[in-house]
Structures are given as structure tokens and as C-alpha cells.
Amino acid sequence: MTALHLAPHPAIVLTKAPLGTGAASGWAQGGIAAALGPDDAPALHAADTLAAGDGLCDPQTVSRITSAAREAIEELARRGVAFDRDAAGALEFGLEAAHSRHRIVHAKGDGTGQEIMRALIEAARSAPSITLMEGVEARRLLTHDGAVVGLLAAGPQGPLTLASRHIVMASGGLGGLYRQTTNPRGAIGQGLALAARAGAALADMEFVQFHPTALDTGLDPMPLVSEAVRGEGAILIDETGDRFLAGQGRAELEPRDIVARAVFDHRAKGHRTFLDARRALGPRFEARFPSIAAKCRAAGIDPARQPIPVVPAAHYAQGGIAVDANGRSSLAGLWACGEAAATGLHGANRLASNSLLEAAVCARFVAESVIAAQTRVRVPALLPAMELPPAPDAGPVRQIMDEKVGVLRERSLLESAVAALAPLAKSNSPAADPAAVALIVAAAALMREESRGSHARRDFPAHDPAWGHRLTLRLHDAEAMARNILERQSAVAIGA
């Protein structure tokens, strides 16, 4: 969408997979949060976002993005997105967890992401200002005098180098660093790795959101059972039929971090966990959530008649490349947008359906910033030489992250993760880039000695006002932490 906003300025879009097929956006089921109803207002949406963010949202960013929601919805509709409407043609609004109003704009029931991507892909393919390079994967950013001047990529014909003083990273999240994830397999934080290795700062990396209701049927990645199903009244039960969240605040409509930990804790006690939509939706499930119903049927489950087995799974990275209000990173010439960016909107815990909103709104902010940029960086006639790194493979990282940097964390496990990931990140193996991103996640989680939002520590279970600020790290910070841990472990071993 940033490339579309850049028109008529030329833009090259690089994508490893055919356009749209490797992106998490196309999998989004819930919709876009937008305060458009007669009983709603951007200030109410902002208040809900701040509450979910648990003290770490940037209030100005929250206000700016929630206030721009109407314009973003209208822009998407102009580009051909067919949002669901009632008989009178008015937008329909759904309810999701931690929202105080029905404000979720959706398309084709639970096919919002797919419908948005369809319209945007059609627009991009027909835009004369956009050059699409599919099957091309960026492997390194090239820098000169502290600024981005191009990138090194792998294409169908081999390595290629592209010169550019303006690069926008819209590479998605990092859920694929975990074995249990709802993200596409390619969502392994590759854009974050490129930025980190080029010296850019990353922020909020300890905050990985685990969705409480991934379909538990052994698939990888795990199909998502949207927040919107609980918004329609579905409840969480165990194998005995006990509604284990009953009596806890808003029960199933508590923020995701609270619900995910409740499901995790209940499973740790030996229970199985299910989402029960039989009474709330029954035979209406198919019409309201057609894609979820299809995934359930493929697993032999009829959600109108049977509870759906669910488990928490890595779903969304609140952290990413640290950016300002216009998407500019700490590295001159590099911008970031969408899940790859840490804008300050989400704080410690993302409010449901704010991710598509952030991507749609910030795409325009980034494009305007790129157009206005007065970059004085000289692109050298001969770009820096660099060997093409191997294609990234997160396989060796996933078990470490699942076991040591998951829903509930503690010092010993996090130190073990940092010590295991650091050598991988330094290696020349395919796991190096995924390990570098995972290392920063683990290091940030180890640094934050409290529980807040989606970051929960067994050894620090309470909020600490001293930690009421965002963490910004560079790769060398995480590497220094790893060296200290490894030296301490070595000293203990020698002493033994």
C-alpha cells in the first residue's frame, strides 16, 4: 500500500513469494478496528488501545492512528475492498476482545485480510509506477557513511544488487521463530535481521503476542480461530465442560495476553482447552465465519455441534524496527511499516484488529515521509561488496524459542536461550539471521524484569513502575549480554 501511495513516484516492490501469498495480512480474519459507529469516537478507540497496551503505548501515535481510521477505510473502499454492509449499505461492525464498542469493519465474514490483499494486489499490478520483482529475497542492506544505499538480494537468476537511498521494510513479523504459530512459515523476522545487521535499533522486542485460540490439530502453521468468534459469544471450556475463565473480569473478552495465559495455565494443569460456539452461534457459524468453518471441517470438526480444540500460539510481534511517527528508522534511508515496525501504537499488548489499521494508516505516513525526504546521501558508484548469505532457515531456532521464550518466561530459561542463540547468530549457517532476531527477543525479555502485557515472567510476576518505558536494543547490545552470560557460565564451570 505504501508503493501505491508513492505514485506517481516510481517504486520497486521485492517479494520472495508471489505477491501477497507469503504475507500474514492475507490470513487476517477479524478485520480493521475503526471508530465509525454512531456511539463511537476515535477517543474511545484510543482509550481502549491505551488500556490494552498496559502503559507502554505512545499516546500521540495512538491518537494519530485511531483518528486516521475513517480515511483509511474510505481509501481501501475506493481501491475496491468490498467491506461487509447491511441491507441499507451501511458498514457492519463486529465486537472483539477489549473493545468497548462494536467497531470491527470486516469483509466476507472472516475473510477481511484476503479481500484487502485481493484489491491491493490488483491495484499494484496495474499501477504504472510500480515494478514488481517476485521471487526475489533481500538478504542484506548495503550502507555507506551510516546510511542505506541499496540492498543485496537473491533472485531466480542468482545474486543481484539494487541501489537505493530510500528503502521501506514491510516484511511482516517473526511468529515463524516459534513451532506453535499462526504466522506463515516465512514470517521469521528477516526484515528485522537485515535492519539489525545494518545497525538499526529495534524496539519492544520482548512483546510477542500469543493468540489464545489457535486450532490445535497438529498443523504447522496453526490455523487461527479469530477473536471475533469470542466477540460473538463463544466461550472457553476444558474437557470437563468447565468454563475456566468465568468470573475473571470480562472472561473471554479480556485482552489477549490475559486469555492466552489463562489457557496456557489451564493446559499446564493437564487440561485440554476448547472454544465452544455451539450455543452462541450454532448453525450460524458457517455464514459468519466461513473460512474458520472450512478449516474446522478439514480437521473433522463441526463447530456448530462440537467444541473447537485450541491452544495459544505465537501470533504477532508488537516489537520491530524502531521508527518515528512517520516510519523513519534510526538508520538514514530506511523506513518500516506494518508488523515490521515498532511505532508505539501497541505498547505491551496489541488490541485486536489494530494491526491492519496500523498497516493501512502508516502506509500513507511512510509514503509521505519518503517523498518529502531530502536525502543527501551519495550512492557510491561502486556499491559495497558483500557475499550473499544463505537462505534463512529458522528450524534450529524454533525449539529454543518455544521452550525458553514462550508464554511464561524466567531468568534461567532466558539466559539459556541467549547463550544458545548467540553462537548461531554469529555463524554462517542458514539459521544465523533468524537466530539474530530471536537473540534480540530473548535479550529484551531478560532485561525487562517485570510482567507487563504479553511479556510475563514467573520470577517477576508483577508490574514494576521502574519499567514503565520502552526498551530499544541494537544487535550488539544483545551480543554483549550473551558474552557476559557465556563468560559467567564458563567461570562457574571452571570453578566447579
pLDDT tens digits, one per residue of 227-258: 889 989 999 999 999 999 998 888 898 888 88
Residue 408 lies in a domain: yes
Give yes or no for a contact between 388 and 401, defined as CB atoms under 8 angstroms apart. no
Distance (Å, rounded) from C-alpha 8 to C-alpha 85? Answer: 32
Other residues' Cβ atoms within 10 Å of the Cβ of residue 162:
17
Q: How confident is the model at residue 384 (pLDDT cuts 50, 70, 90)?
A: low
* Cβ 350 vs Cβ 210: under 8 Å: no
Mean pLDDT value across residues 130-153: 95
Q: What is the per-residue pLDDT for 112?
A: 93
If DSSP codes are grouped into helix, strand and coil, which group holds residue 130? strand
Residue 71 inside a domain? The answer is: no
Q: Is the pLDDT of residue 421 over 60?
A: yes
Q: Nearest 5°: phi and psi at 261?
A: -70, -35
Indicate whether 496 pLDDT > 60: no
Separation of alpha carbons 487 and 244, rounded Å: 45
Domain boundary among 314, 330, 357: 314
pLDDT at 176 over 80: yes
- Judge whether 389 and 433 are in contact, CB under 8 Å: yes
pLDDT class of 375 with cuts at 50, 70, 90: low
Minimum mean pLDDT range among 140-144, 365-369, 384-388, 424-428: 384-388
Beta-strand ranges (E) seen in 337-481 are 341-342, 472-473
280-324 per-position pLDDT tens digit = 999 999 999 999 999 999 999 999 999 999 999 999 999 999 999
Say which residue the cell 514470517 belongs to.
Answer: 187
Structurally, how many domains does the chain consist of? 2
Amino acid at residue number 398: R
Residue 170 has pLDDT above 90, yes or no: yes
Give the confidence band of 379 by pLDDT, cuts at 50, 70, 90: low
Helix (H, G, I), strand (E, B) or coil at 358: helix
- Tell me the three cell numbers of residue 392: 534463512
- 321 within some domain: no
> What pLDDT score does 378 carry?
63
Identify the pLDDT of residue 173: 96
CATH (domain of 476): 1.20.58.100
Statement: residue 493 has pLDDT above 70: no
192-225 pLDDT, tens digit each? 999 999 999 999 999 999 999 999 998 999 999 9
The pTM of the full predicted model, rounded to 2 decimals, is 0.93
State the number of CA atoms in the 13 A half-sphere of 195 facing the CB: 35
Over 80: is that where the pLDDT of 374 sits? no
Proportion of the chain above pLDDT 70, given as a percent: 97
- The single-letter DSSP state of residue 340 is G
Residue 72 backbone zone (phi > 0: left; psi -120 to 50: alpha; other: beta): alpha
Single-letter residue type at 273: T
Q: How confident is the model at residue 382 (pLDDT cuts 50, 70, 90)?
A: low
Which CATH number goes with the domain that contains 246? 3.90.700.10
pLDDT for 227:
82
Residue 351 lies in a domain: no
Q: Is residue 491 part of a domain?
A: yes
Q: Identify whether residues 388 and 486 lie together within a single domain.
A: yes
Range of the domain at 450: 384-495
pLDDT of residue 483: 94
Grid coordinates belonging to 90:
451501511
Calculate mean pLDDT across residues 134-145: 95
Question: What is d(CA 81, CA 107) in angstroms, rounded to the nearest whole number?
Answer: 8
Q: Is the domain of 484 the same as that of 402?
A: yes
User: What pLDDT shows up at residue 488?
Assistant: 87
Q: Does 407 map to a domain? A: yes
Strand partners, 94: 104
| Inter-residue contact 482 to 443 (CB < 8 Å) | yes
Phi-psi region of 218 (alpha: psi -120 to 50; beta: other; left: phi over 0): left
State the pLDDT at residue 20: 83
> What are 182's three cell numbers?
499462526
pLDDT at 342 over 80: yes
Last residue of a domain, one of 314, 329, 354: 314
Whether residue 64 lies inside any domain: the answer is no
pLDDT digits (tens, 9 = 90+) for 32-88: 999 999 999 999 999 999 999 999 999 999 999 999 999 999 999 999 999 999 999
* Domain stop point among 263, 279, 314: 314
Q: 3-class secondary structure for 297-321? A: HHCCCCCCCCCEEEEEEEEEECCEE
Q: Residue 12: which pLDDT band, with cuts at 50, 70 and 90? A: very high
Does 481 lie in the same domain as 389? yes
pLDDT of residue 228: 86
Q: Tell me the pLDDT tens digit for each residue of 86-103.
A: 999 999 999 888 899 999
Measure Cα distances from 118 to 81, 99, 172 in Å: 8, 27, 18
In a domain, 68, yes or no: no
The type of residue at 357 is L
* Sheet containing 32-33: order of strands: 32-33, 104-105, 93-94
Active site residue 350: no
Q: Cβ neighbours of residue 472 under 8 Å, at least 6 residues apart?
A: 201, 202, 203, 322
The mean pLDDT of 426-443, rounded to a whole number, is 98
Classified as helix, coil or strand, 54 is coil
What mean pLDDT comes out for the span 395-400? 96
Selected catalytic residue, list 256, 261, 364, 470:
256
Task: Decide if pLDDT at 381 tops 70.
Answer: no
Rounded Cα gap, residues 66 and 47, in angstroms: 10
For residues 298 and 218, membership in a common domain is answered with: yes
pLDDT at 376 over 70: no
